[in-house]
Structure 1
Amino acid sequence: MSQTHSQDRLDNLDVSTCRQLLGSHGIGRLAFNAGPSPEILPVNYALHEDSIVFRTGAGAKQNAAVQGQAATFEVDGIHADRHSAWSVMVHGRLAVVDVDSLEGSPEPLPGGERSTLVRLQIDRMSGRRIPPDQDWVMPGRVWYGPDASDLMG
């Protein structure tokens, strides 16, 4: 992976590496405005040319796409065994796409009617990673100290 090392022990990923990581996953998080506060929702997706595409049904994501809202998409991976992690963010505008215009568009994971195909046009993409074998604490874990082992079950 190509990167530029920063002072905070995070590597900035180049666009090619970001695209490779986006293409290797299928579930990410879409952030957009939905009324008085932002929404961040999981979506299963596909990378298609310069777009993230996903299916949705009636609701906030469809409304945001119809309105052409700006949105941010994020996908990440954690490799606890190698003490590394990465995150890729995509910024762009949402749009409704003709379902028949794209072959191989993602199928929705949960049940229900999700016949609207939405595209997030990639206007800007960036990514960062924690290099392998850095000293770090696995996210979501709390160190209680040597006398708190009974709290860990």
Structure 2
Amino acid sequence: MWDDVGSGELEVLSPPQCLELLGSVTVGRLGFTQGALPVIWPTDFLLHGEQVVIGTGRGGEWTAATAGSLSVVAFQADRLDERGRALWSVLVVGQARLMLACPALSGWADAKGRCIVIDIVKIQGRRFAHCH
């Protein structure tokens, strides 16, 4: 993805810049392992402080992201231009946990109030200054 932006300049983003950009979009991709195989699913989300929150009424596949005591996941979001080229991309690595009630997010999470919360451990991002 980084090689097809023409003659654009690549800017490495600071963690605060990454959080600001992450908070400006509502769709990303959750990556985790299920049965020792990688799984990546698109999903809507909210940024709540330094946590990524994904409302989930979904079953087994999504709960696999939070199985075990050390459920390390990846989460990625980006913004594309009108030609489908990335203008910026942010990648989060963190520990995921399933919460059966998300009272602070009750207006957004599914009717049962369950959500996956990713505590951000590492965040990095890149932005393209001039996409041609």
SS of aligned partner of 1:102: helix
Could you tell me which residue of structure 1 aligns to residue 94 of structure 2?
92
- Check conservation: 2:28, 2:76, Cα contact below 8 A: yes
Alpha-carbon RMSD across the aligned residues, in angstroms, is: 2.4
Could you tell me which residue of structure 1 aligns to residue 27 of structure 2?
27
Amino acid at match of 1:59: G
Larger radius of gyration: 1
- Aligned counterparts of 1:79 and 1:95: Cα–Cα separation in 2: 33
1:58 aligns with 2:59: yes
Q: TM-score, normalised by structure 2?
A: 0.79
- Check conservation: 2:106, 2:113, Cα contact below 8 A: no
Name the count of aligned residue pairs: 122
* More displaced stretch, 56-65 vs 118-127: 56-65
Structure 1: stretches of 5+ with no match in the other structure? 1-7, 136-153
Q: Which residue of 62, 75, 78 corresponds with 1:76?
A: 78
Amino acid at match of 2:29: R
Closer, same or farther in 2 for the Cα pair 1:100/1:127, shift >3 Å?
Answer: closer
- Aligned counterparts of 1:58 and 1:30: Cα–Cα separation in 2: 15
- Check conservation: 2:103, 2:113, Cα contact below 8 A: no
Amino acid at match of 2:20: Q
- Check conservation: 2:53, 2:115, Cα contact below 8 A: yes
Higher relative contact order (CA 8 A, sep 6+): 2
- Check conservation: 1:53, 1:106, Cα contact below 8 A: no
Closer, same or farther in 2 for the Cα pair 1:87/1:100, shift >3 Å?
Answer: closer
User: Percent identity at matched positions?
Assistant: 26
Q: Which residue of 110, 116, 121 corresponds with 1:118?
A: 116
Closer, same or farther in 2 for the Cα pair 1:92/1:47, shift >3 Å?
Answer: same
How far off its partner does 1:79 sit? 2.0
- Aligned counterparts of 1:89 and 1:66: Cα–Cα separation in 2: 21
Structure 2: stretches of 5+ with no match in the other structure? 1-7
How far off its partner does 1:117 sit? 1.1
Amino acid at match of 2:73: A
